[in-house]
Structure 1
Amino acid sequence: MTAGHAPPGLLARYATGDDLPVDAVWALEVHLEGCAGCRHRLGEAVRAQSPAVAAVVDTVFASVAPAVRAEPSPRRRRWPALLRWAAPSAPAWLAMTVAALLAAMLLDLAAARVGQTRPSLLLLIAPVVPMLGVAASWTRSLDPAYELVACTPRAGLGLALRRTLAALLVVMPPLAAAGAVVGAAPVRWLLPSLVFVVGALALGAFIGVGRAAAAVTVGWLGAVVAPSLVRSRMPVALDPRSTPVWAACAVLAVGAVLLWRGAFQRDASHR
């Protein structure tokens, strides 16, 4: 883009259907969504370069315009950004997450009441819970509008990050509230949770976010949660002294997501 607008040569090639690089096409289409001036110039380019296409567009517009004008304007609903970004599966997933957190909290309270000394179950599962929400928001089988969303210019890393933010804003409050009841402070699980979320996005760019989240969850349950419950001892991974290691992993995961950001426009990331 030149000076915030599409170059005339790029618009002319786009209007005639030339074979343009995929990244150039996506960047141009995203820009056209919000730039009326470039849309007008594109229309002029279509009329100059492809008069047959312009004639078809004018014919279709003339046929549908009267019906559109006759219909009353629908009332626009201004939904909060969180509701617009969230995936269709968000309500069901939130209900399931709250139920799982409530069950873990009750088990911790019951263990404390009978004097049983074991690590907090809620603290052990807290790092992977937000990641599962991210996976649910980016899995094709859980999104009934997947085909419609996947073909839009913004169906890349930007959409993945917006849905990730929506999932985190939905799950973090109940997770923090349940942790406060049993003494599982966010400082213990917040950074590992961030690493798992970003790591699942990085790995999911190639094998699918859902598959990546499942692999990380199974690995965490087998390598950390199960041994901790058997030994009745808090794992080293959730010790505050492990914070520098988690911070380094977070930096590496963020770098991997930025490096492979183009992969989120592929169908493989939605598995």
Structure 2
Amino acid sequence: MTVEHPSERLVSRYARGEVDIPADEVWAVESHLESCAVCRARLADVVEGSTAALVQAVWTDLEPQLTPKARPRWNPLRGLAGWTTPAMVPWLVMTTAVTLVALLFDRFARSPDNEVSVVLLLAPVLPVLGVAVSWAKALDPMHEIVASTPRAGLYLLLRRTVSVLLVVIPTLLFAGSGTSTALWLLPCLAFTTGTLALGGLVGVTRAAAGLIAVWAAVIIAPSVAMAQPSFALHHNGLPVWGALFVLGALVVAVRRGAYADLGAHR
């Protein structure tokens, strides 16, 4: 008994899924394929060829887009922008402006009897404000997306803190060129690590607000009232600031797991 096989054209049309094939022919082809290994092999060859052609067409369209382009030159400003949030940009500009105003006041408006340097008074709290702004949930429009990333804990917190210090410290270095660098640098670093350490307990924004309030009440107010630098702004206090800096860094390192939940430490 001679078996009649579907034509090559019909098998090809069936493999491509053409919808205008008569229903009785589709039924006949499918019934024949169930019992004919030769036609199933023919169908497999047609499908494989069609798939290969489709893949090649897609690859031809995508290849120009996937070809690596020449890597642009490293731009420090672009790199810094990747570490910051949109809310930090105006704050960093404001920080620079405030520091320059403090420098002008120290140079031209401060009376000879007044020994208090405005730059020294502001130096410890300027980076703290920046860290608070960079970590404020209400000011970060990308909070939900950032919170879902694998590095949303301490790694991201340190990145944003470093980006603040990279702007604040050079500005203060220029503004405080007439005074000992250690007098403002150590309090600056101590307050920053202190904010991060307390942030693991009460949230970074709350920790920053509390430390700024304490600094204003204990250091700024008495210094302005007496027109003399507070005890914390003398060289005798440098060992204390150094110890606080190290203590804060150790607390952050020991409690690094506390920053895993980004939303809980805002």
Query: Match of 1:192?
Result: 187
1:224-251 CA deviation, whole Å, 9 max, x = no partner?
A: 0110110111111111111221222122
User: What 5-or-longer segments of structure 2 have no aligned partner?
Assistant: 1-54
Query: Match of 1:249?
Result: 244
Q: Is the 8 A contact 1:156 1:265 kept in 2?
A: yes
Q: 2:113 & 2:245 partners in 1: Cα distance?
A: 34
Does residue 268 in structure 1 map to residue 243 in structure 2? no
Does residue 218 in structure 1 map to residue 246 in structure 2? no
Q: 2:129 & 2:64 partners in 1: Cα distance?
A: 43
Q: Which has the larger radius of gyration?
A: 2
Does residue 150 in structure 1 map to residue 147 in structure 2? yes
Q: Is the 8 A contact 1:195 1:253 kept in 2?
A: yes
Q: Is the 8 A contact 2:113 2:227 kept in 1?
A: no
1:109-120 paired onto structure 2 within 5 Å = 109-112=107-110, 114-120=111-117
Aligned residues: 204
- TM-score, normalised via structure 2 length: 0.69
Query: Match of 2:135?
Result: 138
Does residue 107 in structure 1 map to residue 105 in structure 2? yes
**Alignment match of 1:90 (pick from 82, 88, 91):** 88
Q: 2:98 & 2:190 partners in 1: Cα distance?
A: 21
TM-aligned CA deviation for residue 83 of structure 1: 2.6
Question: 2:109 corresponds to which letter in structure 1?
Answer: A
Q: Is the 8 A contact 1:195 1:246 kept in 2?
A: yes
Question: 2:153 corresponds to which letter in structure 1?
Answer: G
TM-aligned CA deviation for residue 79 of structure 1: 5.3
Question: 1:258 corresponds to which letter in structure 2?
Answer: A
Question: 2:87 corresponds to which letter in structure 1?
Answer: S
Q: 1:95 & 1:255 partners in 2: Cα distance?
A: 31
Q: 1:69 & 1:143 partners in 2: Cα distance?
A: 35
Does residue 125 in structure 1 map to residue 122 in structure 2? yes
Q: 1:152 & 1:233 partners in 2: Cα distance?
A: 48
Question: 1:260 corresponds to which letter in structure 2?
Answer: R
**Alignment match of 2:62 (pick from 54, 58, 69):** 69
TM-aligned CA deviation for residue 103 of structure 1: 2.1
Which deviates more, 137-146 or 209-218?
137-146
Question: 1:107 corresponds to which letter in structure 2?
Answer: F
Query: Match of 1:6?
Result: none
Q: 1:175 & 1:243 partners in 2: Cα distance?
A: 17
1:230-245 paired onto structure 2 within 5 Å = 230-245=225-240
Q: 2:245 & 2:170 partners in 1: Cα distance?
A: 22
TM-aligned CA deviation for residue 72 of structure 1: 3.8
1:4-43 paired onto structure 2 within 5 Å = none
Q: CA 1:140/1:184 → structure 2, altered by over 3 Å: closer, same or farther? A: farther
TM-aligned CA deviation for residue 109 of structure 1: 2.1
User: What 5-or-longer segments of structure 1 have no aligned partner?
Assistant: 1-61
1:96-117 CA deviation, whole Å, 9 max, x = no partner?
A: 10121122222222334x5342
